[in-house]
Amino acid sequence: MTGKQISIHEVGPRDGLQVEKTTVPLEDKIRWIDAGIESGIDIVQLGSFVNPEKVPQMADTDKLFEHYNSSGKKPERTVLSGLVLNERGLERGMACGVDMFCMGVSASETHSQKNTRMTTSEALTRIVAMARSAMADNKRVQVSVQSAFGCGFEGPIASEKVLEIVKEYLSAGIRNISLADTAGHAQPLQVEELFNAIGELDNGLELACHFHNTYGLGLANCYAALKSGVTYFESAFGGLGGCPFTKLPAGNVSTEDLVHSLQRMGYRKDIQLDTLLDVAKQVGGFFGRELPGAVMKSGSIVDFKKG
């Protein structure tokens, strides 16, 4: 089990909202993001720099970053991340003050074409160049392998292909690497094996994970990743989300469920779980439906006052 500090990366404003049909007003996003920052989570992904015609929910990403980079609104300890897919997205992110750039390559050729209209090899060449450019400007960069555990279109993905992409990242000097379960196909033993294999390539990396709960294994996979030395965990408020370019979009691991689970194991007791639960309830109320998150329905059994 890792002895390092566990970091929570809230991706609700991006991955959580990108497949929703009802457009969320800017002021609602800001209210939810403010609460996430107040709760004590470490990183918040404000949005993605993509074509607003293809992903309308992300049309205000630049405005969100400009809001938080304006006088007096910049959070002191929370990192603000943004997803970029191409050079134009990187330019936009640099212009509006992204703290940490997230970018990635799909190990699935079909998903890569649907998501970026590039082959995996083409995308890898461009992403590595973009990462180097951002790091040269002293920006934090996290690179991912998407569809690392399987693809809704292609089925199983060979671990060798995932590791080859990771090796290219390492050759470029990139140290923060995420494996993304875009289709939700991962299972715990597979998670352990793949992250352990990456650890054998280089044991000094910052490892991150991003799981979707398509088949109900999201939290189990997070635990497997934790056992394998992963310290960055991506999740979304209420369990919202899903990639619009995968075969079966399904929600992320719920942030409040993840934090509740970690706190029951003695980790991250500093995070205000009640605040996260309130955000999830607000989001559910906005969309007018019950969200997948479990703890906001059952209630927390974590009580540090009695502990």
Identify the H or E element spanning 180.
strand 176-181
pLDDT, tens only, 74-94: 899 999 999 999 999 999 999
Q: Say if residue 149's pLDDT is above 60.
A: yes
- The whole-number pLDDT of residue 1 equals 61
Percent of the chain past pLDDT 70, that is, above it, reads 94
The pTM of this model reads 0.94
The closest of 17, 24, 23 to 45, measured between CA atoms, is 17
Average pLDDT score, the chain = 92
Interhelix angle 109-116/120-136, nearest 10 degrees: 60
Q: What is the mean pLDDT of residues 119-143?
A: 95
Residue position matching structure tokens 């809230």: 10
| Separation between Cα atoms, residue 210 and residue 246, nearest integer Å | 15
Q: What is the mean pLDDT of residues 268-295?
A: 95
Residue 234 β-bridge partners: 9, 210
- The whole-number pLDDT of residue 243 equals 57
- The whole-number pLDDT of residue 4 equals 73
| Separation between Cα atoms, residue 68 and residue 74, nearest integer Å | 5
- The whole-number pLDDT of residue 250 equals 62
Q: What is the mean pLDDT of residues 132-155?
A: 94
**Which of 114-118, 179-183, 222-226 is modeled with the greatest confidence?**
222-226
Q: Say if residue 307's pLDDT is above 50.
A: no
Extract the tokens encoding 39: 């709760």
- The whole-number pLDDT of residue 116 equals 80
> What are the chain's domains?
7-298 (3.20.20.70)
- The whole-number pLDDT of residue 3 equals 59
Q: Say if residue 303's pLDDT is above 80.
A: no
How far is residue 244 from each of residues 19, 249, 270, measured CA to CA in Å? 6, 6, 34
Instruction: Name the phi and psi angles at 301, rounded to 5.
Output: -110, 15
| Separation between Cα atoms, residue 213 and residue 278, nearest integer Å | 21
| Separation between Cα atoms, residue 124 and residue 118, nearest integer Å | 9
Q: Say if residue 304's pLDDT is above 70.
A: no
User: pLDDT band at residue 57, thresholds of 50, 70 and 90?
Assistant: very high
| Separation between Cα atoms, residue 23 and residue 162, nearest integer Å | 35
pLDDT, tens only, 26-48: 999 999 999 999 999 999 999 99
Q: What is the mean pLDDT of residues 149-157?
A: 90
pLDDT, tens only, 199-253: 999 999 999 999 999 899 999 999 999 999 999 999 999 999 865 554 455 689 9
- The whole-number pLDDT of residue 71 equals 73
Q: Say if residue 305's pLDDT is above 60.
A: no
User: Do the Cβ atoms of 13 and 32 come closer than 8 Å?
Assistant: yes
| Separation between Cα atoms, residue 287 and residue 297, nearest integer Å | 16
Among this protein's residues, is 243 annotated catalytic? yes
- The whole-number pLDDT of residue 267 equals 96
- The whole-number pLDDT of residue 306 equals 44
